[in-house]
Structures are given as structure tokens and as C-alpha cells.
Structure 1
Amino acid sequence: MKSLRNALTKLLHVLAGVSFIAMVALTCWQVFTRYVLQNPSSWSEELVSYLFAWASLLGASLVTGERGHMNIPILVEKLSPSMQRTLGIFGELVAFAFSLIILVYGGVQITQLAMGQMTSSLGVAVGVFYVVMPLCGVLNMIYTVLNIADICKGTGADATKEGA
């Protein structure tokens, strides 16, 4: 399981990194065409917007894998270890349900709806850019299952931080 987590995390780091580098390059291109060539590139601005959404969702999946999502540790730390485990599993189940319903189911629905629409500058189906929602939903679901397994083994957040 640790090898699966490490492989997914490395893949997400590469995808997020490539997305970030592409955003920087495209933004530089946008500035160059706007101020030097006096002819702004509209397609690069649109693509940067979509890449930003992709990078955000990929980053959210990385956070899920590290169990770095928002929590209130001061309250949980006062509970017994078994109650801490129970709350940890409950939190992961909530994240799993959110990922399944909102990201996977909702993402598939919106992707299918948007396949008939074309982007204004790129001429690509908008649904292509929405594919990241169900993809990250599945990644989040995998990570939550791995997190639950770690919690049950008693390795918890420490093991997930090591794999990142």
C-alpha cells in the first residue's frame, strides 16, 4: 500500500509541477505579447485559467494523501487513542463520500454536459478541462482508503507524512 501511495504522490507532484511551469511560461508569454508585441494572446490567458483549476484540484488530492485537510487537533488530542482513531476514520469517510458524490458523480455529470461547449479561444470542448474533477475524486477516494488503513494499523498521520 505504501508503494501505491508513493507512486500516486510522485505522479501528482509531477503533474502539479508541470502545470505550474506551464502557467508561468504562458503568463510570461501573455505579458510579452501584450506589452512588447502590442497584440495580446487570448488563448494563453484562457489556458492558464484552466491549468490553475487543474493545479488546485491536484494539490487538493495531494493534501488528502497527506491527511493535511483542515482539522481541530486541540480537541481531538484530548480524547482517548481509540476515540481519536474513530474520529480519524469518520473524517476519512466524510472525505470519501464528498469525493464520490461531488467530485466523481458531479464531475462526470458536468463533464458530459460541457462536452458540447467549446472554449472561446482554444476551440477545445470545455468538458476536456472538467475531466480533472472525477479524476481527482477517484484519487481522493484511493487516498482516503489508504489513510483509513494507516489509521487502523495505528500508523496514522505519521506514515502519510513519510510517504509524501
Structure 2
Amino acid sequence: MNWLLKIERLLCRFEFLVAGVALLVIVVSTAIAVISRNVFNSPVIWTGELSILAQVWLTFIGASAVYKERGHVGMAGLGQALPPRLGLLVTTLADIALAVLLVFVAVTIIHLMSNQWAQTLSTLGLPRALSSLPVAWGMCSITFSAAISTATQLKTLVQGEAS
């Protein structure tokens, strides 16, 4: 189990890095758009599409990283508001429900992506599937983390009853 936790930590660091790069791309492409339009009176057409693509990456990859840190308010708050064993049980059930839901979403997105590789984004010319890839990544990554969390929580619940 420790090796899975190490993989999860590395994955979390990588996701924070990707989210940070996506945020930087948003800032730079927006700055380019503003400067080109207001200073040179010649708008650059690809900046809006690049910014939106980076925002999708930031949102879904960032959400996955934040989930690993238990940074989502609703997830952490509910479990902490209840008595310890009940809170752990509720958190475990929420992780299981989330994993099941995200598997269905990931399968749907991956199916959608199979049709999008041949389509291109209008100004960037990149495959449209690049806008769905972070969604699939996020869903699969959160499911992986929820499975690890569930296993750890179930182990704690079982050991708690044995003692």
C-alpha cells in the first residue's frame, strides 16, 4: 500500500505542475491578446482558444491534485463535522460513490475522445481531443486516489472494530 501512496504523491506533484503551467499559459496568452489588441491594434486570434484550452487543463488537472490533498471543502468538512468513526464511514462511502460516478464519466469521455482526434480546434489546429484529455485524466486520477483512500479508510474501520 505504501508504494501506491508514493505513486499518488508523485502524481499529485505532477498535476500541480501541469496546473501551474496551464495557469501561466492563461496569463501569458491573455496578456498577448490585450497587448496586441490595445497597443498594436491588431488582435491575435489564437490567444482566446489557447486560454480556454489551458483553463480546461487547469480546472480538471487542478481538481485532481486538490482532491489528493483533501482540499475540497465539502469532502473534508462533512467528515470532520461528525464523530470520528461515523465521519470516517461517511467519507469512505462518499469516496466509493465518487469513484463509481467518475468511472462512468471517464468511460464516456474516453469514448467521446475517440471521435475527437480527427477534429481540430479552429484557430490552433490542434486535435479537439486535447480539450477532453484533461477531463479523462482528472476522472481517472481522482478514481485512483479515491480507491487508495477507500482502502486505507476501510482498513482503519476494520482495525478499529477489532481493537
TM category (shorter chain) comes to 0.7 to 0.9
TM-score, normalised to structure 2's length? 0.83
The 1-side partners of 2:130 and 2:78 are apart by 42
1:89-128, aligned counterparts within 5 Å? 89-102=92-105, 104-128=106-130
Structure 1 segments unaligned to the other structure (5+ residues): 156-164
Cα offset, 1:15, TM superposition: 0.5
Cα offset, 1:121, TM superposition: 0.7
Number of the residue aligned with 1:41: 44
- The C-alpha deviation readout for 1:33-70, integer Å capped at 9, x for no partner, is 11111111111111100100110001110222123332
The 2-side partners of 1:3 and 1:127 are apart by 30
The 2-side partners of 1:74 and 1:44 are apart by 40
The 2-side partners of 1:20 and 1:78 are apart by 36
| Contact 1:65 1:147 (C-alpha < 8 Å) held by counterparts | no
| Contact 1:16 1:59 (C-alpha < 8 Å) held by counterparts | yes
Q: Report sequence identity in percent.
A: 18
The 2-side partners of 1:72 and 1:131 are apart by 27
State how many pairs are aligned.
Answer: 153
Alpha carbons of structure 1 residues 115 and 98: separation in structure 2 relative to 1, 3 Å: same
RMSD of Structure 2 on Structure 1 (CA): 2.2
Alpha carbons of structure 1 residues 71 and 134: separation in structure 2 relative to 1, 3 Å: closer
In the alignment, does 2:62 pair up with 1:59? yes
Question: What amino acid maps onto 2:111 in structure 1?
Answer: Q
The 2-side partners of 1:29 and 1:122 are apart by 15
Question: What amino acid maps onto 2:10 in structure 1?
Answer: A
TM-score, normalised to structure 1's length? 0.82
Cα offset, 1:138, TM superposition: 1.3
Structure 2 segments unaligned to the other structure (5+ residues): 158-163
